[in-house]
Amino acid sequence: MSKIERNNIDASNLLDHIEGIFCRRGAESYLGEQVSMAQHMLQAAQCAEQAGAKNTMIAAALLHDIGHYANEIPETALAEGQDNYHEQAGASFLEPYFDAAVIEPIRQHVATKRYLCAVQPSYLVRLSDASAYTLKLQGGPMSAEEVQSFETNPHLQACIDVRVWDEEAKDPTKEHPEFSYYRPLLEQLMSQHLAH
Ligand SMILES: [Fe+2]
């Protein structure tokens, strides 16, 4: 598969581009965790599927960290996700192609960690060392005011579910499907979105 230029991505080549990222760069390490980036995202999708989640949530789990590949993402999307705000960059990149039910859990997955740490002390204890470390950089647990405002998100439950799978998807010994297994599901969600 030849590499697609990041500023030339459209609906016709988006999934080739994303599959290319998984294949070319999936083995890169995931921020101090025991799993690679591809293992992490594919396991998150697998957790969603095994929980009987909707396709939108499986897609969100699968793509939630795509924004870490900053130099694979169109520069226009990166402008909205400055510095290392990978969740915003990933959401902006995918937003033209998928419904909010897919995009919001991606955009909010760091905020949801901060939310869960505030409302569920048991969640804070479950964080991996790397995730607990980045929590500090991300602003720590939400304040009561932030919690209140976050709870108005109509996709709150999907955000929470994706975040829980995100934490679970760090098992270096677990087998999981490849990206190609999820491609028909992504194709279907994209065509539904683009038909509206
Ligand atoms: Fe993640």
Indicate whether 112 belongs to any domain.
Answer: yes
Q: How confident is the model at residue 82 (pLDDT cuts 50, 70, 90)?
A: low
Indicate whether 185 belongs to any domain.
Answer: yes
Indicate whether 3 belongs to any domain.
Answer: no
Question: What is the structure's pLDDT at 81?
Answer: 56
pLDDT digit string, tens, across residues 101-136: 999 999 999 999 999 999 998 888 888 888 888 898
Q: How confident is the model at residue 1 (pLDDT cuts 50, 70, 90)?
A: low
User: How close is the Cα of 108 to the center of ligand 1, in Å?
Assistant: 11
Task: Report how many domains make up the chain.
Answer: 1
Q: What is the CA radius of gyration of the chain?
A: 16
The domain in which residue 128 lies consists of 10-195
User: How close is the Cα of 130 to the center of ligand 1, in Å?
Assistant: 11
> Domain of 141: which CATH number?
1.10.3210.10
Contact 105, 159 (CB under 8 A): yes
Indicate whether 148 belongs to any domain.
Answer: yes
47 φ, ψ (degrees, to nearest 5) = -60, -45
pLDDT digit string, tens, across residues 159-176: 999 999 999 999 999 999
